[in-house]
Amino acid sequence: MQRQEISQSDFVFTEDFAECCREEYAEYCLHILCLSGAARFAVGDTLFNVIGGDAIIKSSGKPVTDVRCSDDFRIKALLISWKFLNANTPQSSYNIIGALSTSQNPVMPMQKADLDRCLLNFEEIRRRLEQPYHNFFADVMRRAVETMILDFYDIHARMTHQNIEGVSQASRILQRFVTLLQEGLYKKERSVEYYASRLFITPKYLSEACVAISGHNASHWIDRYIAQEIAQQLSDRSKPLIDIADELNFSSPSYLSRYVKRTFGCSPSEYRKRLK
């Protein structure tokens, strides 16, 4: 990612919980650190309670509604656009696990040391964002965000033990669907119809189950796995684009290039340049 491709609008810092829930930020991922007090909010039909020391990780999808806060409720929040995150999320399978889990319960309890570490990450991102004159601005911004995300992964894995199992039929369908994706089938199969047939359900029912649990349809999850795979493949700068296109079942390198441009906001060559 070149310097001019990072926009100030990709990052929003706020201490106002209500601001985080505005419709204009529907395509942002919310990272909220609760410092004191307590609050209640709803995502879809589900109510959640949060207290000081908790974090809220909320991706795009179902909006946050019915917010009720105590007088002493205080937060620090960092909202990051999905356009930026799609191109800069660490290459780890845990982002899928974490996304599934937080889509069912966005509240994550933390120890004080975890909270302090996350606050430092927020401040580092803010500080770096204020230094666009840095000769390696894009690189240091990407690394600052990656560090924050990896710290959240670490906290989530320790505090939840990767518990993403749901009890509803929709939860079971989503888990079975993700299991098929984790087997690598997305490298050759990108149609919702294919996965629905493997699960012996209709494509409509598969997408409805995905939306009910995660707020995203089935195509979103297929695209997410493909995007992660493309990012990993492009990190090998010696690998020709035609080989990547063939391995991931794209009809041509130009089709792959258009897909990368739409997903990451830059061409494959530009993506590779930012990795230097």
The secondary structure element, H or E, covering residue 55 is strand 54-58
Per-residue pLDDT at 3: 37
**Do the domains 10-160 and 169-274 sit in the same CATH topology, yes or no?**
no
Tell me the β-bridge partners of 69: 39
Token pair listed for 237: 């700068």
Q: What is the DSSP letter of 106?
A: -
**Strand 74-81, strand 11-14: pairing:** antiparallel
- In three-state secondary structure terms, 165 is coil
Per-residue pLDDT at 100: 75
Burial 70-82 (b: 16+ CB within 10 A, else e): eeebebbbbbbbe
Q: Is the dihedral of CA 88, 209, 57, 101 positive or negative?
A: negative
Spatial CB neighbours of 16, under 8 Å, sequence gap ≥ 6: 75, 77
How is the chain split into domains, by residue range? Answer: 10-160, 169-274
Q: What is the mean pLDDT of each run of 10 residues along the chain (276 residues)?
A: 65 96 90 96 88 90 87 96 82 71 85 96 97 92 94 84 56 83 90 95 92 84 88 87 93 92 87 76
Per-residue pLDDT at 4: 39
Spatial CB neighbours of 123, under 8 Å, sequence gap ≥ 6: none
Span 104-133, pLDDT tens digits: 789 999 999 999 999 999 999 999 999 999
Per-residue pLDDT at 168: 67
Q: Is the dihedral of CA 204, 259, 150, 106 positive or negative?
A: negative
CATH domain 169-274 topology: Arc Repressor Mutant, subunit A (1.10.10)
Residue with tokens 């349809």: 217
Span 54-95, pLDDT tens digits: 999 997 667 889 999 999 999 999 999 988 887 777 766 677
Q: Which amino acid is at 4?
A: Q
- Say whether pTM exceeds 0.85: no
CATH of domain 10-160: 2.60.120
The answer to whether 77 touches 14, Cβ cutoff 8 Å, is: yes
CA-CA distance, 226 to 176, in Å (whole number)?
18
